[in-house]
A and B are shown apart, each in its own frame.
Chain A
């Protein structure tokens, strides 16, 4: 079975919600739309206080090419255009809408009928990209990079295949798994649209073999869509990393930063993004809701919820049995790469794939012991780096050493820290080193 070549770890899977069918979450009383839901320049608000909006009304437009518009996911009145504390802990501009009823813009097709590419043969690749751009779709796996940018290969480069990420290597998370099971055809049509947009004939869907039902369902239905191949992969974290997935499926190696997948002829998209693209192009529905896994051992009823963008995280927890008493940490995303939330009023964003509650004992770090030179971290690093060296050199501010040892290649997957028997905080130090080196490189290039 295929997998990436070097490094990787296998954390306990804990997929508590793998068997739980998705259901829509309640519409909140107030929805909050952060202007920072994607990488790139923040969106620019186009509504003001008192404006009446419906589901699918444009709230903020894209500011530049690497940016994405934001649509209302609820109907009601704009109560404030202000700043809110978002997942970063800082106050950032946002639009707050008081919800009344649930009215949708007329042009959105809300029926469940499947529209395939054969029904719409007139769609050109430019049109697909334009619709994706208009719908405000960003990478749904969590990176939130505007999708239309990825679907527009830079001049001089040409993709020869599309790699679809259905790996979901993060423990606990099952949103992509449920999406592949429940919306199989929609996801496959979405993949066909991506293939048409980047003008390739071949798409590979990587799925880890801890989801045999999803693999079987996708394989069964993919037979009807030309060029789509389902590739079962061995379970290993961080297989969902772009570079790792490309290596696992195609055997190609993406050059180190600033190298991009397109340089080896690959465009990578998440299954969630494929589904959003289907809805945007075929159903005229902008990105207003997404599946999010709300899970964790202390939680009473973990679930996969279709949440409207802008729903406060607190409402989702309440829907899954309320805040448990023994909760030490709430993480936005998965346990490996997610970020602990500082407050629960943070809204669901386009990139929110999971909400994980940890009990008091799980959430605390173990005592840090001295490094015993076992080199487990070196073996675990999927990028072939030497985490112990990078961490120590960063702690001592040896920026030249960390730069020479390729710290910018680090994908911050945390495998080193996970595998360390001495619980050394390697990733914390490496992040400091990486951000410093990147700032130094930027300063050098600016000269």
Chain B
């Protein structure tokens, strides 16, 4: 009988001593965490996508608290939660946030199967990076989309899919949170985060080919050839031409759609605009800055695949 008592006493004593040690340790080595970090974390989406540039949501919460202590939340944005979440974060930290324009991932390549002929076939691992190691992918374009879907794999929100008809990625505007994971993954830097624009309307140069016009023209029907017509046409100086490639500055663009008409290759796309009227009519429902439309020119240029986004 007394054997049991000995065991109980010894174990009890060990337990008591351990409890004492743990109690002392927890007091002495306690880590003071700002309670606001936990509160901020709670309102964040907890997707841990890293789109904000911090390691996960708690990292971002810590950074927000630090920034608030420093006096301003400028530059802190959870791309997934967007403005509403940032407002809640600001209210927890009793700060105010600057209004940020919502962004979206934009695929800047229109080298579909029709526009850009396949010159070789690639049967290796279905990964853009692996395809890139063997050369320029299946087409001769050294800049365009490889179509192996690294961006699809990178998206945690299921917002990108490859359109089997065109072989190009398509962004689902509802699901895209502009976290930037796809833009970071794309080895060709085709995907760009651009402001969504009023009513989701935006103008995009859907090409990143920086080769000279003749070369770019040869590999893809829908390539930007750097002719500069759009630059001359733009009344707002929103378009710049660097190394044979036009780029529309979303901050300066006033959505007049003149560049779209001017482009001889159909490389500039107007997204989410209502279809054009066939004849010259004063635009009534269009955006404020838009001037009367030009007669729609007969387009022989590349087929658009972007407007189906």
> Which residues of A does B touch, CB under 8 Å?
85, 88-91, 339-340, 342-343, 364-365, 425, 428-429, 431-432, 435
Contacts and interface: CB of A to CB of B under 8 A. Distances in A.
A342 B119 CA distance: 8
Nearest to A366: B123
Contact of B119 (A343, A365, A435): A343
B136 A432 contact: no
Given A89-B142, A90-B136, A340-B135, A365 B123 contact: yes
A339 B134 contact: yes
B133 A428 contact: yes
Interface string B141-185: 010000000000000000000000000000000000000000000
Contacts of A91: 142, 211, 215
A88 B135 CA distance: 5
Interface residues of B, number: 17
B88 interface: no
B4 interface: no
B133 to A, nearest CB: 6
9 pairs of A and B residues whose beta carbons are closest in the complex: A89-B135, A89-B136, A428-B125, A428-B130, A425-B125, A342-B135, A365-B123, A90-B142, A432-B129
B50 to A, nearest CB: 13
A90 B136 CA distance: 7
B124 A428 contact: yes
Interface string B99-128: 000000000000000000001100111010
Contacts of B97: none
B199 to A, nearest CB: 38
Given A91-B142, A342-B120, A425-B124, A431 B215 contact: no
A364 B124 CA distance: 9
Given A340-B134, A364-B123, A425-B124, 6 more contacts: A342-B135, A342-B136, A343-B119, A365-B123, A428-B124, A431-B130
B264 to A, nearest CB: 23
B140 interface: yes
A435 to B, nearest CB: 8
A364 B123 CA distance: 7
A428 to B, nearest CB: 4
B136 A365 contact: no
A428 B130 CA distance: 6
Contacts of B211: 91
Nearest to B141: A89
Contacts, number: 45
9 contacts: A88-B136, A89-B135, A90-B136, A91-B142, A342-B119, A343-B119, A343-B140, A365-B124, A432-B129
Contacts of B142: 89-91
Contacts of A425: 124-125, 130
Contact of A429 (B119, B130, B134, B140): B130
A244 to B, nearest CB: 23
A85 B143 CA distance: 13
A225 B125 CA distance: 50
Contacts of B140: 85, 89, 342-343
Of A88, A425, A428, most buried by chain B (CB within 10 Å of CB) is A428
Interface in B261-306: none
A90 B139 CA distance: 11
Nearest to A339: B134
A88 B133 CA distance: 9
A342 B135 CA distance: 7
Contacts of A432: 127, 129-130, 133
Contacts of B135: 88-89, 339-340, 342
A429 B125 contact: yes
A370 to B, nearest CB: 15
A186 to B, nearest CB: 36
A428 B124 CA distance: 8
A257 to B, nearest CB: 19
A343 B142 CA distance: 13
Contacts of B130: 425, 428-429, 431-432
A435 B133 CA distance: 10
Nearest to A425: B125
B182 to A, nearest CB: 15
B295 to A, nearest CB: 39
A316 B211 CA distance: 29
Of B119, B130, B211, most buried by chain A (CB within 10 Å of CB) is B130
Nearest to A88: B135
A429 B127 CA distance: 9
Contacts of A90: 136, 142
A365 B120 CA distance: 14
Contacts of B127: 428, 432
Contacts of A435: 133
A89 B124 CA distance: 17
A319 B102 CA distance: 61
A384 B130 CA distance: 24
Contacts of B119: 342-343
Contacts of B129: 432
A172 B198 CA distance: 62
B210 to A, nearest CB: 10
Contacts of A339: 134-135
A342 B141 CA distance: 11
Nearest to B133: A431
B137 to A, nearest CB: 8
Contacts of B124: 365, 425, 428
B16 to A, nearest CB: 42
A127 B139 CA distance: 48
A90 B211 CA distance: 10
A88 B211 CA distance: 16
A85 B135 CA distance: 11
B75 to A, nearest CB: 24
A206 B101 CA distance: 67
A365 B142 CA distance: 24
Contacts of B136: 88-90, 342
Nearest to B135: A89
Nearest to A90: B142
Nearest to A426: B125
Contacts of A428: 124-125, 127, 130, 133
A375 to B, nearest CB: 21
Nearest to B138: A342
Interface string B229-262: 0000000000000000000000000000000000
Of A85, A89, A425, A431, most buried by chain B (CB within 10 Å of CB) is A89
